[in-house]
């Protein structure tokens, strides 16, 4: 089993351009199904979750070719509407293909995506949104059979939770429904805006993304397009927190600073100097990180749940106490026990976690519990005294492209070992 061997205590210095956004490219690859013909998606990161999505597109009948940083998807040959259980289990966010298949083929069949390390991952909001548009959905023995077709019509979808995936599925399905669809209570994440921009590029009429009401005038013929995916704000947050944890100076380019406001505010409170210009953020940290106001995860523009573990890892090696409250997922503290093995002082009670900085963590052998928890352990190991081993790398490979290489380019001592 391979692992990262990390020598901690080296301040990160330098500049990097961040990868394309995993949570944007996955719905955009599903959206490529809507347009018969060859779309080219630029800034497509080389991640295992992206590979899984490309495997699904091929299985559905698309021609898929990677051309360096771009991926070409020719959806003219789309003929299959069924995603097998094996591929669904490989990546739970494959549920995002539901809306696109319904819009293009009028039907879809897939197995329930099931839970993951973060706890149960229900899709009730996805299904109720599609039913509002007229889809007939039957659930039997863990399989979902969805039928749409000529009777699909635009309608008003009300989301009780601003679910990112449900908003995306609703937008994609609505593109195949004649009439206007309004999504009330939509998620406002920047990745939703990126999806809207791609849909507009293929000829769809979508407005309002980034706000809580999204409008789709569906049923129009769509055409392929060339599109560049936004930078990954969570990957950017990871490199910035690594710089903060090691007392270095790093500039991260290729990301919209406004998409990171909540995290940057926390890092500034913790004592980092931050400057933002154009599509780059520079962080300088010359002393131990200080305690900050309580960090409560929330839907965008609140503090992103995906950055919770990463910021916690940086603060655990600082000074002072900070309260975290995880409001989005039921069990997103899998990294806490592993951080404790590195000397962290963290007390968890339900959704709350009190982190008391110990001045410096020490190296240890730790296991990635999930994607962002694994990245958090790398951040902690980079700032710790001594050598760490981080295993279960398959979690990290889902969301970070060339992670050790990017960190080494900033001066880190991190090597993958067998």
Q: Tell me which residues are annotated as active site.
A: 116
Look up tokens 């760490």; give the residue. Answer: 388
The verdict on 252 binding ligand EPZ (CB under 6 A) reads no
Considering the complex, state which of residue 65 and residue 139 has its C-beta at the smaller distance from ligand EPZ: 139
Q: Are 118 and 139 in contact (CB under 8 A)?
A: no
Residue 79 beta carbon to ligand EPZ: minimum distance, rounded to whole angstroms: 26
How are beta strands 136-140 and 143-147 bridged, if at all?
antiparallel
User: Which of 31, 56, 164, 281 forms a contact with ligand EPZ (CB under 6 A)?
Assistant: 164
393 near 367, Cβ under 8 Å? no
Interaction pattern, residues 347-366, with ligand EPZ; x per rule: CB under 6 A: --------------------
Query: Alpha helices, DSSP H only, in 282-370?
Result: 308-316, 334-341
Is 297 a binding residue for ligand EPZ by CB under 6 A? The answer is no
Rg, Å, the chain Cα set? 21
Residues 325-357 as b/e (b if ≥16 CB within 10 A, e otherwise) read ebebbeebbbbbebbbbbbbebeeeebebebbb
**Judged by CB under 6 A, does residue 23 bind ligand EPZ?**
yes
Cβ–Cβ contacts within 10 Å for residue 175, how many?
27
Number of residues that bind ligand EPZ (CB under 6 A): 23
Is residue 122 within the footprint of ligand EPZ (CB under 6 A)? yes
Note whether 196 binds ligand EPZ by CB under 6 A. Answer: no
Site for ligand EPZ in 380-409 (CB under 6 A): 399
Is the sign of the CA dihedral 322, 325, 330, 332 positive or negative? negative
Stretch that binds ligand EPZ, among 11-19, 120-128, 147-155, 237-245 (CB under 6 A): 120-128
- Minimum distance from residue 210 beta carbon to ligand EPZ (Å): 14
Q: Pick from 163, 181, 238, 388: which binds ligand EPZ (CB under 6 A)?
A: 163
| C-alpha 203, offset from chain centre | 26
- Residue 372 has phi, psi (to 5 degrees) of -80, -30
Name the residue nearer to ligand EPZ (CB basis): 165 or 176.
165
Q: Is residue 190 near ligand EPZ by the rule CB under 6 A? A: no
Q: Which two three-digit tokens encode residue 11?
A: 């301040």
CA-CA distance, 291 to 273, in Å (whole number)? Answer: 15
Closest separation in Å from C-beta 121 to ligand EPZ: 6
Interactions with ligand EPZ, residue window 70-109 (CB under 6 A): 93
**What distance in Å separates the CA atoms of residue 343 and residue 333, rounded to the nearest whole number?**
16
Q: Look at the chain and count its residues.
A: 418
Q: Encoding tokens for residue 370? A: 């999930």
Q: What are phi and psi of 18, to 5 degrees?
A: -75, 155
Ranked by CB distance to ligand EPZ, the top (closest) residue is 165
Q: How far is the CB of 206 from ligand EPZ (least distance, A)?
A: 18
Residue 249 binds ligand EPZ (CB under 6 A): no
267/310 with CB nearer ligand EPZ: 310
Does 238 bind ligand EPZ (CB under 6 A)? Our answer is no
Cβ-based nearer residue to ligand EPZ, 72 or 123: 123
Binding site for ligand EPZ (CB under 6 A): 22-23, 26, 93, 121-126, 161, 163-166, 187, 305-306, 328-329, 371-372, 399
């Amino acid at each position: 089993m391979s692992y990262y061997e990390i020598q901690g205590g080296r301040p990160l210095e330098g500049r990097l351009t961040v990868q394309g956004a995993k949570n944007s490219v996955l719905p955009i690859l599903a959206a490529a199904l809507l347009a018969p013909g060859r779309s080219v998606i630029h800034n497509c990161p080389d991640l295992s979750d992206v590979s899984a999505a490309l495997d699904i597109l091929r299985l559905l009948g698309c021609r898929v070719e990677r051309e360096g940083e771009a991926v070409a998807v020719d959806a003219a040959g789309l003929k299959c509407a069924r995603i097998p259980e094996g591929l669904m289990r490989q990546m739970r966010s494959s549920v995002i293909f539901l809306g696109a298949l319904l819009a293009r083929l009028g039907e879809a069949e897939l197995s329930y995506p099931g839970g993951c390390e973060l706890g149960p991952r229900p899709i009730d909001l996805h299904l109720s949104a599609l039913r509002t548009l007229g889809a007939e959905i039957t659930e039997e023995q863990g399989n979902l059979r969805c039928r749409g077709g000529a009777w699909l019509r635009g309608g008003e979808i009300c989301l009780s939770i601003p679910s990112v995936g449900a908003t995306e599925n609703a937008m994609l399905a609505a593109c195949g429904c004649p009439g206007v669809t309004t999504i009330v209570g939509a998620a406002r994440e920047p990745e939703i805006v990126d999806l809207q921009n791609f849909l507009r590029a293929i000829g769809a009429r979508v407005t309002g993304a980034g706000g809580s009401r999204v409008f789709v005038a569906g049923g129009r013929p769509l055409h392929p397009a060339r599109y560049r995916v936004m930078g990954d704000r969570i990957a950017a947050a990871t490199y910035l927190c690594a710089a903060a944890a090691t007392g270095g100076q790093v500039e991260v380019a290729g990301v919209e600073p406004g998409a990171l406001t909540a995290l940057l505010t926390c890092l500034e409170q913790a004592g980092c100097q931050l400057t933002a210009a154009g599509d780059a953020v520079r962080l300088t940290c010359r002393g131990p990180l200080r305690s900050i106001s309580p960090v409560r995860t929330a839907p965008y523009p609140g503090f992103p749940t995906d950055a919770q573990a990463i910021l916690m890892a940086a603060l655990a090696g600082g000074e002072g106490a900070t309260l975290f409250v995880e409001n989005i997922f039921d069990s997103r503290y899998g990294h806490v026990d592993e951080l404790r093995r590195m000397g962290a002082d963290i007390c968890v009670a339900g959704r709350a976690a009190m982190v008391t900085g110990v001045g410096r963590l020490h190296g240890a052998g730790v296991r990635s519990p999930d994607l962002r928890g694994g990245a958090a352990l790398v951040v902690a190991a980079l700032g710790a005294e001594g050598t760490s081993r981080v295993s279960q790398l398959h979690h990290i490979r889902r969301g970070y492209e060339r992670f050790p290489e990017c960190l080494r380019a900033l001066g880190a001592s991190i090597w993958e070992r067998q």
